[in-house]
Structure 1
């Protein structure tokens, strides 16, 4: 897919690093930068603290107003076109709000600033992955946002989420110099990943002109996340493409184990889709 609108989520207490990263990315790929500034409201008080709670909310709204003004000023000289929106939202509904906003973009960029804010990071990832249908590009400290990486690795397990991630990343895969399809402890047969695990995906991607290598790896007692991290280093991978796994339990989103591990400590830029 073509990435023409990139969403960056920021907060009142975050720096401008993610904004700079988003603007650099948009200028590199000729895309529009959408910025969503979010302030999460404090929970309702228990007991006789209504006045203090009201004052705290007013202060939060003022911080959000000031943050938007600062963002506008910071991005005013950039070549990329920019729009800035703001939301003062209750914690329980913040993920849904971010997900709704993300539906009108092509990809959500989660950079080091947002990764350093546990609550807003979680809400942004949950909203983007579970409520928008759009991919997320997670970029840890020390890396730049790049949607034209040379060396890409796909974490493949034949499930729907992995298939969606591959589809969302197709333009990235086609442009890459080489792509490694990685299967950890693959199961052969109809109930697993076919007679030759990875072959079906390799055939599909080859028709699109993707340069494919299939790597079937044993976990050797380690976790899937550890094996992926190690192989990414061994293959000098620039980007990991993988499915984002999880489900909703009432209002709580639950990430799968591998997804959670990768998102807690992303070893390199990760393009993820649910």
Structure 2
């Protein structure tokens, strides 16, 4: 199923252009409708020296928030009009000011959500909480790297595979991209010794299933040899020249090691290519 409805999470000017580059590229490829979502924080009522709410501060903060939201809406509309794609803009106010939290309802009715990877050098409020989207929306999330290309042809795909429900969900959610790719590699870290007895975990069965959809698929296994899972993944990405990683979020074997406490640390902070995550 192609991605006909895309939600683009626009948290700030720091991530807006990268998210829009990616969202427009997808919209052109799949003839998609794009919904931009942005949230501003409700001003906190600080107390003045005489014990009353500082209404002047609240007013100044509120005006600044409105101007920022207006500026981002104008940027979004301009980019979408130039691309000639149908779109909507949804602006919210909430206590957290996090566009991911405010965008969950919109995301649940979309085929794909696009959000920016957290930039470790940016202000904490400059990027959205992607964990919230993964946990609460029930939809796949494409994470745009904070460094490197903001969009790509996604011609070489690596699917991290361990036979889990989450890995299967991610592989099939990513089918519109996998079937268009020049090559997809099912990548198994520490594959089982007896591949005939454990076809599911070995990747052979998912490779055959994807191939029936017309995907060009191979299976590769590699021993971790004491290295962390994220290190092995990044090495394989570099070795293959992959431009998309497909990953199931939270499973019950080695992927748990990567994603429990590692989603933010690795995939959402330092993975060098676009990462398609489902849960």
TM-score by length of 2: 0.80
Task: For 2:119 and 2:37, locate their aligned partners in 1 and report how far apart those are by CA, in whole Å.
Answer: 12
Q: Per-residue displacement from partner, 1:140-185 (whole Å, max 9, x unpaired)?
A: 1221324x52110000111111111111101111111111111111
1:142 maps to: 148
My pick for the range that moved more, 102-111 or 227-236, is 102-111
**Matching residue of 1:222:** 227
1:97 aligned to which of 93, 97, 102:
102
Question: 1:51 is matched with which residue?
Answer: 53
Contact 1:39 1:60 in 2 (8 A): no
Give 3-state SS (helix, strand or coil) of 2:64's partner.
Answer: helix
Distance 2:177 2:91 in 1: 30
What is the distance in 1 between the residues matched to 2:94 and 2:140?
23
Q: Check 1:80–1:218 CA distance in 2 against 1; reply closer, same or farther (3 A cut).
A: same
- Residue by residue over 1:45-68, the C-alpha shift from the partner in whole angstroms, topping out at 9 and shown as x without a partner, is 69977623x555544443332233
* 1:203-246 deviations in Å (ceiling 9; x for gaps): 22122222111111011111000000001111111111001228
SS state of the match for residue 133, structure 1? Answer: coil
Matched residue, 1:249: none
Q: How many residues align?
A: 263
Matches of 2:42 and 2:28, distance apart in 1: 33
C-alpha distance after superposition, 1:68-124 (max 9, x if no partner): 32234332342112211111112298654322221122212123687845346352x
RMSD of aligned C-alpha atoms?
Answer: 3.2
Deviation at 1:6, TM superposition (A): 1.9
What does 1:33-112 align with in structure 2 at a 5 Å threshold? Answer: 33-41=34-42, 51-52=53-54, 55-74=56-75, 75-76=77-78, 77-78=81-82, 79-91=84-96, 95-111=100-116
Pick aligned residue for 1:174 from 160, 171, 179:
179
TM score, norm. by length of structure 1: 0.82
Change (3 A) 1:241 1:113: closer
Instruction: Give yes or no for the alignment of 1:128 onto 2:133.
Output: yes
- Bigger shift: residues 43-52 or 231-240: 43-52
Q: Name the residue aligned to 2:5.
A: 5
Where does structure 1 lack aligned partners over 5 or more consecutive residues? 247-254
Residue in structure 1 matching 2:156, options 148, 151, 155: 151
In the alignment, the residues of structure 2 paired with residue 44 and residue 244 of structure 1 have an alpha-carbon distance, to the nearest angstrom, of: 38
Is the partner of 1:91 in helix, strand or coil?
coil
Q: Aligned to 2:276, what secondary structure does the other structure show?
A: strand
